[in-house]
């Protein structure tokens, strides 16, 4: 299975700067490339980079109706989004999304034919307290409870240690290997047929550390923040993931 390299632009960009960035993204064979742009730019990205998959950074848990400010999964499909990030740590921390909300968002995405990229990960305090898999297990359990075993196999997971996001330094190879392996084991224990379920790593992925990260067992791609806003860096990360 090819690796998936997803750019998460977060709340960055503008029509003019996006144009330059999107035009510099060219498909790389042997890797699945994805850009997750802010909602207002979905149409621009859809038209400028039809050869690269398109995604959003959040989605409503509701299908339609009186939910001012929300964007439904069906609306994302209208713009050819095939993926949507849910439960990013910034949404959990800054916008108070709990595990159950994240799970319902993942279900709403799947119901509309959009693959959710469910983010999980611990804070530094939780790591220091030896609670990494307690925290991730609770995040995963909530999703499994809502989706069920069969649908769980159809999502993408992203392990993003909160302390490595925007930090300049990724988690170490040992830390990444440990958590990705533990997530696989967690899924297997619960009967999830995770053969094609990809587990991405996110947190300060850069051209300098991409090859090392992609060489780790059970790292099936990357969720890239800051480096996805620099065309050369994002392309270099995609090339490092190709045919791995």
Length of the chain: 244
Query: Which residue, 113 or 166, is less far from ligand 13P as judged by CB?
Result: 166
- By CB under 6 A, is residue 13 in contact with ligand 13P? no
- By CB under 6 A, is residue 33 in contact with ligand 13P? no
Catalytic residue among 122, 160, 180, 218: 160
Total residues binding ligand 13P (CB under 6 A)? 14
The Cα–Cα gap between 244 and 238 comes to: 11
- By CB under 6 A, is residue 110 in contact with ligand 13P? no
Q: Is 2 exposed, middle or buried (0-12, 13-18, 19+ CB in 10 A)?
A: middle
- By CB under 6 A, is residue 203 in contact with ligand 13P? yes
- By CB under 6 A, is residue 209 in contact with ligand 13P? no
Is 218 an annotated catalytic residue? no
- By CB under 6 A, is residue 87 in contact with ligand 13P? no
Is 212 an annotated catalytic residue? no
Question: Between the CA of residue 201 and those of 72, 79, 82, 153, 175, what are the distances in Å?
Answer: 26, 26, 19, 18, 11
The Cα–Cα gap between 160 and 221 comes to: 12
Among the residue ranges 39-47, 74-82, 137-145, 196-204, the one whose residues contact ligand 13P (CB under 6 A):
196-204
Sorted by sequence, the CB contacts under 8 Å of residue 227 that are 6+ apart come out as 205, 206, 207, 233, 234, 237
Contacting positions for ligand 13P (CB under 6 A): 8, 88, 160, 165-166, 202-205, 223-227
Which active-site residues does the annotation give? 88, 160
């Amino acid at each position: 299975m090819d690796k998936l390299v997803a750019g998460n632009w977060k709340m960055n960009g503008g029509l003019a700067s996006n144009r330059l960035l999107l035009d510099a993204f060219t498909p790389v064979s042997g890797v699945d490339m994805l850009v997750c742009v802010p909602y207002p730019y979905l149409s621009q990205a859809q038209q400028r980079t039809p050869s690269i998959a398109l995604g959003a950074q959040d989605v409503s848990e509701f299908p339609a109706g009186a939910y001012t400010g929300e964007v439904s999964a069906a609306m994302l499909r209208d713009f050819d989004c095939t993926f949507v990030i849910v439960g990013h740590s910034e949404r959990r921390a800054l916008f108070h999304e709990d595990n159950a909300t994240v799970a319902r968002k993942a279900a709403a995405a799947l119901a509309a034919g959009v693959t959710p990229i469910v983010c999980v990960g611990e804070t530094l305090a939780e790591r220091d307290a030896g609670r990494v898999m307690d925290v991730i297990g609770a995040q995963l359990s909530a999703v499994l409870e809502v989706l069920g075993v069969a649908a769980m196999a159809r999502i993408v997971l992203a392990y993003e240690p909160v302390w490595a996001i925007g930090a300049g330094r990724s988690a170490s190879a040992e830390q990444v290997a440990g958590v990705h392996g533990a997530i696989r084991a967690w899924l297997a224990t619960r009967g999830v047929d995770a053969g094609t379920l990809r587990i991405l790593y996110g947190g300060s992925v850069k051209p300098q550390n991409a090859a090392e990260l992609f060489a780790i067992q059970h790292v099936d791609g990357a969720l890239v923040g800051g480096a996805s806003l620099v065309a050369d860096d994002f392309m270099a990360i995609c090339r490092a993931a190709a045919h791995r």
